[in-house]
């Protein structure tokens, strides 16, 4: 057993930090980095620790969710190695925050989807790209760290592979606690590997400078799983080696008072799936630590209460001491589930029925023998997830309290929201009306409040104006991941008069041009728009502006102010209003707009102005209505078009064919025709010119084909269709 520690500890460079009650860390923060708020949080945990340690009396450090695997450069240990997160005096380090909390009690340590804490300290690349010898270290060269807490983290990726002559580098890959008495709570220590001892954690007591320093760590609600101690020899062949999950050690050679031995406390912890790769079944008796996959205690007096040590690969708990420390090497276990059994009050030996230990889920399933079998005399008020202990009469064994009872969701209903500029929002806390867990612990055991609809707009106002309400579902989830829901009915009020888009009128007829109608005299025109504001006494008034006279309000029903020939109808349906003009005339051309007002005293809302252009229909002058001529002669008609949208006009000449009605004349071109079929036949080339023009000409027009039963060719009635 080598007790040599480090010669020097590097002095951290303190980043600028505003003095505050809390130092914040969030790797995803984007603001200035001073640790004074979530927005300005430090990006690395070590920076937060250093800033808190520099404040008078220390401070709490709150760390937001995420995997913190940054390279760590602060030197620690007698080898001066880097890569570890170095805790310091009077710093309480808390993880499990989503990054918005203002109260520590609102954090949520456990991610149910991953079966891990939501804040992970990862040492797999933190030593300049290589694994750290220890992910987290506690203690200094000559004295313990004092008033230290590590709470709410996953600790993983450590590899204590060892450096010859440097004792600590072989031990405590997850956590290396040197001569200190921290509180380590609500942590999951997993997938760490040590070459000799303490894959998950090494808890080392020793005499330094003639003073006995007991490493009386207190472990609460912690899970140790899938950690490995290879139990190989270090450079000096130290025989004390073991503890896949936890190694509890004191140096009996240097320890002065063997009558007062270290007594770390393990409360509501779970050890499972930890491994010794060299369990030492056939080792000689002088080789200690055989079959100690779970916990290996050498010469200490630890106390284990309300805990589970089960399904570790080779051996659960092993106690050993030496003759010079006759009272040491005794682990006191009570109210715990130990595979293979252990003498002590309330202990059991039964499968704890973990939910899914292979995936790292050590929550107790229904029917677990560890439910209601602990003792309330030593209990933390909440489990690793934040579930209140005890949920029933007696606390559970292990890190997780059993709770499969959903909470009670209580909604504040009905609710009312008022649109401002067409929008409104609510939060889950607006809907919540004191939801609580069962049994109730108001304000504590609800982890997540969520609603399925938080924003409201003009469409929601339309529903409310129509007499309906908007259902909003509140879902509350407790720390055990049980959920319940309730529904609030929300009425949306309009607020001040408002049009979401004052120019978004629906026009009929619609020519595809915003705010413009062009139509013919005698037809109808309509203008429609939907409001998004105003109270229940909203009023729509339509106005006409001809650009010459002052704008005039149009009556809801009646005649247009410019002509009795045009009738006016205004229809209001909820938030919709439509102005219809029937039999429009040229004098009704001008701009039309709508004003929305109510009795709230707020300014009215005004739409854009839509322009109406009324045009006369197209008229055609036909100077030569009837023409008589000899067959084979030329004929021509001309018309003059006016009105409508004006030139250019579209022309289509037609002939009334007996038995078939009006048909388009042939397209312009030369058409050979056979006259007098038989021996006397000859060809006549009739040409059509201007079939789609104002002037239509037929060259060599023919009465019929001259056959015995003649077929009429060009004789008949002609007309022209003109449009714009």
**Looking at the predicted structure, is the pLDDT value of residue 469 above 80?**
yes
CATH number of the domain located at residue range(s) 415-493 in this protein:
2.60.40
Q: Which of 714, 721, 704, 719 is nearest to 635 (CA)?
A: 714
Share of the chain above pLDDT 90, in %: 74
Nearest-angstrom CA–CA distance, 295 and 265: 13
pLDDT top residue among 551 and 445: 551
The DSSP 8-state label assigned to residue 358 in this structure reads: G
Structure tokens at 622: 């036909």
**Looking at the predicted structure, is the pLDDT value of residue 254 above 50?**
yes
Nearest-angstrom CA–CA distance, 304 and 269: 8
pLDDT band at residue 298 using 50, 70 and 90 as cut-offs? very high
Provide the H-helix boundaries in 370-496. Answer: 428-431, 458-465
Share of the chain above pLDDT 70, in %: 95
Nearest-angstrom CA–CA distance, 464 and 117: 44
**Looking at the predicted structure, is the pLDDT value of residue 443 above 60?**
no
Q: Which of 435, 388, 395 is nearest to 411 (CA)?
A: 435
Give the mean pLDDT of 4-28: 52
Buried b (16+ CB within 10 A) or exposed e, 286-309: ebbbbbbbbbbbbbbbbbbbbbbb
**Looking at the predicted structure, is the pLDDT value of residue 148 above 50?**
yes
pLDDT, tens digit, 9 for 90 and up, residues 175-184: 999 999 999 9
Average pLDDT, the chain: 91
pLDDT band at residue 15 using 50, 70 and 90 as cut-offs? very low
pLDDT, tens digit, 9 for 90 and up, residues 477-489: 999 999 999 999 9
Nearest-angstrom CA–CA distance, 23 and 50: 10
pLDDT, tens digit, 9 for 90 and up, residues 221-235: 999 999 999 999 899
- Residue 172: predicted pLDDT: 97
Residue with tokens 């520690």: 5
Residue with tokens 């010794």: 276
Question: What backbone phi and psi angles, to 5 degrees, belong to 645?
Answer: -80, 0
- Residue 623: predicted pLDDT: 66
**Looking at the predicted structure, is the pLDDT value of residue 242 above 70?**
yes
Pairing relationship of beta strands 119-122 and 175-178 according to DSSP bridges:
unpaired
pTM summary value: 0.79
**Looking at the predicted structure, is the pLDDT value of residue 388 above 80?**
yes
E strand or H helix at 51? helix 45-53
Is there a common fold for 506-615 and 619-723? yes
Nearest-angstrom CA–CA distance, 634 and 320: 131
- Residue 442: predicted pLDDT: 52
pLDDT band at residue 281 using 50, 70 and 90 as cut-offs? low
The residues spanned by each domain of the chain are 60-338, 415-493, 506-615, 619-723
pLDDT top residue among 484 and 438: 484
CATH number of the domain located at residue range(s) 506-615 in this protein:
2.60.40.10
- How open is the CA angle 673-676-678, to the nearest 5 degrees? 110
Nearest-angstrom CA–CA distance, 72 and 67: 14
| Bond into 509 cis (ω within 30) | yes
User: Are 2 and 169 contacting, i.e. CB atoms less than 8 angstroms apart?
Assistant: no
- Residue 60: predicted pLDDT: 97
CATH number of the domain located at residue range(s) 619-723 in this protein:
2.60.40
pLDDT band at residue 501 using 50, 70 and 90 as cut-offs? very high
User: Are 521 and 616 contacting, i.e. CB atoms less than 8 angstroms apart?
Assistant: yes
pLDDT, tens digit, 9 for 90 and up, residues 570-623: 999 999 999 999 999 999 999 999 999 999 899 999 999 999 999 998 888 876
Nearest-angstrom CA–CA distance, 322 and 509: 103
Please count the other Cβ atoms lying within 10 Å of the Cβ belonging to residue 4: 11
Q: Which of 411, 410, 417, 382 is nearest to 396 (CA)?
A: 382
Nearest-angstrom CA–CA distance, 350 and 704: 115
Nearest-angstrom CA–CA distance, 494 and 517: 30
**Looking at the predicted structure, is the pLDDT value of residue 355 above 50?**
yes
- Residue 723: predicted pLDDT: 85
Secondary structure of 127-180 as H, E, C letters: ECCECCCCCEEECCCCCCCCCCEEECCEEECCEECCECCEHHHHECCCEEEECC
**Positive/negative CA dihedral, 438, 441, 445, 448:** positive
Nearest-angstrom CA–CA distance, 53 and 247: 28
Structure tokens at 575: 């938030």
């Amino acid at each position: 057993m080598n007790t040599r520690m480090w010669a020097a500890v590097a002095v951290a460079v303190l980043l600028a930090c505003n003095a505050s009650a809390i130092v914040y860390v969030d790797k995803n923060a984007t603001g200035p980095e001073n640790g004074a708020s979530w927005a300005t949080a430090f990006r690395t945990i070590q920076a937060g620790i250093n800033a808190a340690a520099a404040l008078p009396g220390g401070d709490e450090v709150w760390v937001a969710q995420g995997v913190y695997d940054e390279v760590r450069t602060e030197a620690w240990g007698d080898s001066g190695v880097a890569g570890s997160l170095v805790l310091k005096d009077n710093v309480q380090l808390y993880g499990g925050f989503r990054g918005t909390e203002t109260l520590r009690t609102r954090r949520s340590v456990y991610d149910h989807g991953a079966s891990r804490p939501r804040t992970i300290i990862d040492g797999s690349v933190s030593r300049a790209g290589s694994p750290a010898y220890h992910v987290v270290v506690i203690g200094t060269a000559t004295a313990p760290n004092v008033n230290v807490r590590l709470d709410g983290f996953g600790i993983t990726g450590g590899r204590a592979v060892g450096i010859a002559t440097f004792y600590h580098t072989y031990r405590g890959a997850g956590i290396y606690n040197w001569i200190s008495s921290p509180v380590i709570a609500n942590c999951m220590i997993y997938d760490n590997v040590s070459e000799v001892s303490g894959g998950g954690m090494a808890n080392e007591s020793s005499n330094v400078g003639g003073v006995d320093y007991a490493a009386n760590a207190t472990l609460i609600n912690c899970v140790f799983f899938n950690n490995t101690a290879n139990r190989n020899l270090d450079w000096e062949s130290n025989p004390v080696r073991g503890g896949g999950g936890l190694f509890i050690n004191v140096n009996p050679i240097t320890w002065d008072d063997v009558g007062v031995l270290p007594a770390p406390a393990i409360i509501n912890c779970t050890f499972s799936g930890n491994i010794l790769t060299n369990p030492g079944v056939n080792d000689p008796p002088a080789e200690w630590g055989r079959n100690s996959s779970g916990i290996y205690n050498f010469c200490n007096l630890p106390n284990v209460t309300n805990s589970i040590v089960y399904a570790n690969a080779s051996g659960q708990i092993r106690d050993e001491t030496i003759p010079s420390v006759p009272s040491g090497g005794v682990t006191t276990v009570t109210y715990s589930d130990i595979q293979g059994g252990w003498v002590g009050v309330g202990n059991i030996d039964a499968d704890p029925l973990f939910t899914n230990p292979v995936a790292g889920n050590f929550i107790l399933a229904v029917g677990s023998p560890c439910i209601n079998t602990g003792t309330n005399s030593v209990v933390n008020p909440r489990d690793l997830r934040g579930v209140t202990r005890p949920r029933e009469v007696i606390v559970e064994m292990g890190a997780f309290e059993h709770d499969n009872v959903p909470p009670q969701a209580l909604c504040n209903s009905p609710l009312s929201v008022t649109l401002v500029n067409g929008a409104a929002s609510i939060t889950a806390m607006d809907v919540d009306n004191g939801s609580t867990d069962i049994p109730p612990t108001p304000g504590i055991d609800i982890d997540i409040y969520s609603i399925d609809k938080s924003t409201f707009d003009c469409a929601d106002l339309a529903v409310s104006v129509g007499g309906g309400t908007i259902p909003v579902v509140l879902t509350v989830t407790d720390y055990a991941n049980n959920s319940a829901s309730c529904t609030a009915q929300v009425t949306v009020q309009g607020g001040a008069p408002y049009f979401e888009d004052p120019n978004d009128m629906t026009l009929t007829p619609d020519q595809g041009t915003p705010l413009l109608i062009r139509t013919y005299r005698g037809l109808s025109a309509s203008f429609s728009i939907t409001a998004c504001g105003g109270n229940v006494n909203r009023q729509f008034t339509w106005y006409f502006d001809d650009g010459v006279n002052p704008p005039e309000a149009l009556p809801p029903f009646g005649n247009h102010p410019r002509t009795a020939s045009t009738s006016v109808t205004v229809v209001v349906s909820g938030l919709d209003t439509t102005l219809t003009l029937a039999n429009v005339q040229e004098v009704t051309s001008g701009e039309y707009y709508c004003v929305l007002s109510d009795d709230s005293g707020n300014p009215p809302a005004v739409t854009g102005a839509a322009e109406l252009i009324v045009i006369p229909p197209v008229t055609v002058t036909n100077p030569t209505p009837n023409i008589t001529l000899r067959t084979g002669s030329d004929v021509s008609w001309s018309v003059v078009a006016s009105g409508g949208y004006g030139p250019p006009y579209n022309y289509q000449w037609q002939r009334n064919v007996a038995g078939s009605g009006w048909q388009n004349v042939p397209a312009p071109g030369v058409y050979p025709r056979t006259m007098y079929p038989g021996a006397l036949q000859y060809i006549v080339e009739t040409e059509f010119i201007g079939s789609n023009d104002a002037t239509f000409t037929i060259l060599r027009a023919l009465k019929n084909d001259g056959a015995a039963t003649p077929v009429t060719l060009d004789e008949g009635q002609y007309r022209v269709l003109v449009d714009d």
